[in-house]
């Protein structure tokens, strides 16, 4: 069963996977990756180091209560907990929370397909919200999958869904692929 094929009993498994990731991160000696270390790792190696807890997760994941749950070449899954701090004035989860979770899955699935010495940045992000989300939904997952990786651009799509399989949003991205090393002076 893939992570997008869910059943009503999916939540206990999701919570167990989240606890396992949190345990690895708490037990690990998480460091901030320096530029030299980042340049020597493929995107997949970097993402696997984050998942293993040997590199620190991005601080926004703590701020917005989401985390990397799975990663493989060209695929990344983030799990988030919509909470009271994410609400818009009407009492629903703010669209920016959906967008950030989807952008993380989209960007990281692109990163997980890049070789060492390459980086990316989001050029375009498209988000379609199809269902309201509230804190009563205990967890959601954003699963990003690569569509194309070229020398200068990459594209991907993602779905944001609940443990019962309900789709809350979907999105797509175009990313710029580049060499992050400084260019020598002319």
pLDDT of residue 55: 87
Structural domains in the chain, CATH included, are 10-178 (3.10.129.10)
Q: What is the DSSP letter of 132?
A: -
- Compute how many other C-beta atoms are within 10 angstroms of the C-beta atom of residue 159: 19
Instruction: Give the N- to C-terminal CA distance of the chain in Å, as an integer.
Output: 54
- 117 alpha carbon, distance to own chain's centre: 21
For 70, list phi and psi in degrees, rounded to 5: -145, 150
Q: What is the pLDDT of residues 20-58, one digit of tens each?
A: 998 887 776 666 666 677 778 999 999 999 998 888 888
| Cβ contacts of 101 within 8 Å, gap of 6 or more | 64, 66, 78, 80, 140, 142, 160
Rounded CA separation 113/116 (Å): 10
Rounded CA separation 174/124 (Å): 5
Mean pLDDT by 10 residues, the chain (186 residues): 54 93 76 70 94 88 95 98 94 96 98 95 98 94 98 98 96 95 73
- Computed on alpha carbons and rounded to an integer, the radius of gyration of the chain in Å comes to 17
pLDDT of residue 161: 97
pLDDT of residue 53: 87
């Amino acid at each position: 069963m893939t992570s997008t094929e869910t059943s009503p009993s999916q939540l206990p498994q999701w919570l167990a996977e989240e606890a396992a990731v949190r345990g690895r991160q708490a037990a690990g000696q998480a460091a901030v990756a320096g530029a030299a270390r980042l340049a020597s790792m493929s995107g997949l190696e970097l993402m696997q180091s984050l998942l293993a807890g040997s590199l620190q997760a991005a601080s926004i994941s703590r701020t917005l209560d989401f985390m990397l749950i799975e990663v493989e070449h060209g695929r990344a899954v983030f799990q988030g907990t919509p909470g009271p701090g994410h609400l818009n004035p009407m009492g629903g989860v703010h669209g920016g929370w959906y967008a950030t979770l989807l952008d993380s899955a989209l960007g990281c699935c692109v990163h997980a397909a890049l070789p060492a010495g390459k980086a990316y940045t989001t050029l375009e992000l498209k988000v379609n919200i199809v269902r309201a989300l509230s804190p009563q939904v205990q967890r959601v997952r954003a699963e990003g999958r690569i569509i194309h990786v070229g020398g200068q651009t990459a594209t991907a799509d993602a779905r944001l869904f609940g443990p019962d399989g309900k789709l809350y949003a979907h999105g797509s991205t175009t990313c710029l692929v580049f060499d992050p090393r400084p260019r020598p002076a002319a």
